[in-house]
Amino acid sequence: MRATTLRLGSRDVDIGDRAVVMGVLDVNGPGAAADRSLADLVRRAGHLVDQGADLLDLEVEGGAPGHDAGGDLEAVARVVGAVTERVDVPLSVATSREAVARAAFGAGAVMVNDRTGCTDHAFLAAVAEWGATVVGGHRGPVGGAPDATADTVRDFLAGWAGQARAAGIPPDRIVLDGGLGQDGSTGQALALLRASGLLADLGHPVLLSLVDTAFVGTVRRPAHGRSDGPAELDASALAASALGAVLGCRVVRTRDVTGHRQVCAVVAAVRGAAR
CA–CA distance, 53 with 259 (Å, rounded to integer): 11
**Domain 5-274 adopts which CATH fold?**
TIM Barrel (3.20.20)
Grade residue 148 by pLDDT with cuts at 50, 70 and 90. Answer: confident
DSSP structural state of residue 82: H
Percent of the chain whose predicted confidence (pLDDT) is above 70: 80
Three-class SS state of 229: coil
Mean pLDDT of 236-255: 94
Grade residue 220 by pLDDT with cuts at 50, 70 and 90. Answer: low
pLDDT of residue 70: 46
pLDDT of residue 64: 44
Kindly give the pairing relationship between strand 5-8 and strand 11-14.
antiparallel
pLDDT of 203 strictly over 90: yes
Per-residue pLDDT tens for 90-131?
999 999 999 999 999 999 999 999 988 777 889 999 999 999
CA–CA distance, 179 with 212 (Å, rounded to integer): 10
- The domain locations on the chain are 5-274
pLDDT of 248 strictly over 80: yes
Beta-bridge partners for 175: 135
Describe the chain by its helix, strand, coil percentages, rounded to 5: 50, 15, 35
Per-residue pLDDT tens for 14-68?
999 999 999 999 886 544 444 458 889 999 999 999 999 999 999 875 544 444 4
Per-residue pLDDT tens for 153-167?
999 999 999 999 999
HEC profile of 193-211: HHCHHHHHCCCCCEEEECC
pLDDT of residue 181: 67
pLDDT of residue 65: 42
What is the sign of the dihedral through the CA atoms of 11, 21, 138 and 14? Answer: positive
pLDDT of 218 strictly over 70: no
pLDDT of residue 256: 92
CA–CA distance, 190 with 193 (Å, rounded to integer): 5
pLDDT of residue 31: 46
Q: Write down the mean pLDDT value for the chain.
A: 85
Q: Where are the beta strands (DSSP E) in 27-156?
A: 55-59, 91-94, 111-114, 133-137
pLDDT of 81 strictly over 50: yes
pLDDT of residue 30: 46
Beta-bridge partners for 94: 113
Mean pLDDT of 222-247: 75
Three-class SS state of 19: coil
Kindly give the pairing relationship between strand 55-59 and strand 20-26.
parallel
φ/ψ (deg, to 5) at 36: -90, -10
Asked whether the beta carbons of 22 and 207 are under 8 A apart, the reply is yes
Mean pLDDT of 231-245: 85
Helix axes 121-129, 98-107, angle to 10 degrees: 10
Grade residue 273 by pLDDT with cuts at 50, 70 and 90. Answer: low
